[in-house]
Amino acid sequence: MATKYSIPRGTYDILPDISYRRIYVEQMFYKIAATFNFKQIVTPIFERSDVFERSVGDTSDIVQKEMYRFTDKKGRKFALRPEGTASVVRSYVENNLGMAGGATRLCYSGPMFRYDRPQKGRYRQFYQYGVEYLGSDDPMVDAEIIALGHRYLTALGLKNFKLEINSIGSANCAKDYDAALVDYFTPHLDAMCRDCRQRIDKNPKRLLDCKVASCKAIAKDAPNMLEYLDDDCKTHFTAVQRYLAQMGIPFSVNPTIVRGLDYYNKTAFEFIDTNLGAQNTLIGGGRYNGLVAQFGGKDVPGIGFAGGFERLMLSMETEGCFFGEEPRPQIYFVALGNAAKVAAAGILYRLRSQGISAEYNVEKTSMKAQMKAADKSGAKGVLILGDDELKDNVVVLKWLETGKQKRIKIDNIAEELHPE
């Protein structure tokens, strides 16, 4: 049969044969986040476009090329969210979440949208998880956020990843560094891509993480941020490393990690899969002091990270990680004859009300066909009901693995399946 409709390019369906895996990794995320006392926040998938333009930065790829924008019937400008942090900070300010003072720990997951060239593990509608900690500039918090990412990857059974950290400085010291970058890159600009030539004035740090090979070759010898950090940033970065060491979390310092978005400062970090090739960042994050003030709130410091479920699950597959049990019915109901079929409706409903997952096949009538379907379903046990059993108010319970079977009272099925 010809397909009349097809899915939009760069999107995918999460089909029932693997959806339990997605549920597993997502539930694990919230479980680990809860052990750090992070609470879920859910924001809309679209916002006024300036929520992203101003925060993510209008020189970023995301805003310049990849945002899904639309205008509503009243001419208001919106965008599908390309990332999570801007929406969370918008909500934090709008709802006065920081009013009580102290820390606000938030976590989220959901679809994000970028008009990007689709490639393996990269989609136009993709799913991210992330955390945001608002309310402290203490380096112990940076280490805690990094530790949460580390815990999550470890809890999923991943082993082949490494943590790289950097400090990209604050407004104070980044100025000198930006000037040094402009000095360094200006004589090379003719050999660099159009994006780099455009960005050098607004955000010269972005030239450090350009993916174009010729730009990469030039960026390799650029000045090192760590040599430009002022005392405050240096002390902060040293403390982050001390806390990580205290937690026993291995890391290395990589001065080329700048993160793609404008709002980052001080600590930046990435968890990198050491199996995969090019697209290998599992989790990326950093500090964004000043972002809350930019949204009209008080000058509350913040730090967070985000990661994509797609890449995470690719890594888990590569490493043969456990994805949770594939759900299957506990019992399969085989009804022989019309009277048994009618009785089965009531029995099935009562079993399901008692928390027992049950399946049956209404299209098949013969014993053989129904038993075959039971085998295929993966059910542990089969309940067989024919006219004889119905007369005595019993069913035959057959365990598929051992072949053992016995007659049990219909009223006692749940007890037999769930012996206390």
List interacting residues with Zn ion (CB under 5 A).
Answer: 169-170, 172-173, 192-193, 196, 210, 212, 215, 230, 233
Tell me the torsion sign for CA atoms 37, 42, 45, 51: negative
Query: Least distance from C-beta 310 to Zn ion, angstroms?
Result: 26
Least distance from Zn ion to the Cβ atom of residue 243, Å: 19
- Of 141 and 400, the one with the shorter C-beta distance to Zn ion is 141
In the complex, least distance from residue 225 CB atom to Zn ion, rounded to whole angstroms = 10
CB of 258 to Zn ion, least distance (A): 13
Distance CA 255, CA 224 (A): 6
Shortest reach from residue 297's CB to Zn ion, in Å: 22
Closest CB to Zn ion among residues 103, 193: 193
The residues pairing with 161 across neighbouring beta strands, listed in sequence order, are 273
Angle formed at CA 57 by CA 53 and CA 61, multiple of 5 degrees: 95
Q: What does the alpha-carbon distance between residue 19 and residue 93 come to, in Å, rounded to a whole number?
A: 35
Residue 259 CA to residue 266 CA, distance in Å, equals: 11
Closer residue to Zn ion, CB minimum distance, 178 or 273: 178
d(CA 43, CA 118): 25
| Least separation in angstroms between CB 238 and Zn ion | 13
* Residue nearer to Zn ion on the CB measure, 210 or 239: 210
For 119, other C-beta atoms within 10 Å of its C-beta total 10
Q: Please, which residue, 64 or 405, has the CB nearer to Zn ion?
A: 64
DSSP 8-state assignment for residue 330: S
At closest approach, how far in Å is the CB of 3 from Zn ion?
Answer: 40
The distance of closest approach from Cβ of residue 68 to Zn ion in the complex, given in angstroms and rounded to an integer, is 24
The beta strands (E) that lie in 237-379 are given as: 252-253, 265-273, 281-287, 302-308, 331-335, 358-360
The amino acid present at 248, given as its one-letter code, is: G
Nearest distance, CB of residue 26 and Zn ion, angstroms: 35
> Distance between CA atoms of 46 and 108, rounded to whole angstroms?
15
**Local structure of residue 80 (DSSP, 8 states):** E
Q: Which CB atom, from 4 or from 194, has the smaller least distance to Zn ion?
A: 194
The encoded tokens of residue 124 equal: 């136009």
Kindly tell me which of 235 and 318 has the beta carbon lying closer to Zn ion. 235
Instruction: Enumerate the H helices of 166-296 as residue ranges.
Output: 171-185, 194-202, 213-219, 231-247, 291-294
* Residue 77 bridge partners (DSSP): 71
Please, what is the minimum distance in Å from the beta carbon of residue 194 to Zn ion?
8
* Surface-to-core class of residue 110, CB atoms within 10 Å of its CB (0-12 exposed, 13-18 middle, 19+ buried): middle
Determine the Cα–Cα distance for residues 109 and 27; give it in Å rounded to an integer. Answer: 10
Q: Which is nearer to Zn ion, 173 or 347 (CB)?
A: 173
Nearer to Zn ion, 67 or 168 (CB): 168
Closer CB to Zn ion, residue 107 or residue 173?
173
Indicate the pairing of strand 281-287 with strand 265-273: antiparallel
- C-alpha–C-alpha distance, residues 54 and 331, integer Å: 55
Q: How far apart are CA 112 and CA 80, in angstroms?
A: 7
In the bound state with Zn ion, the residue whose beta carbon lies nearer, of 86 and 196, is 196
Task: Tell me how far apart the alpha carbons of residues 148 and 271 are, in angstroms, rounded to a whole number.
Answer: 11
Farthest CA pair distance, the chain: 94
Output the smallest distance, CB 144 to Zn ion, in A. Answer: 21
Q: Note whether 80 and 126 are within 8 A (CB).
A: no
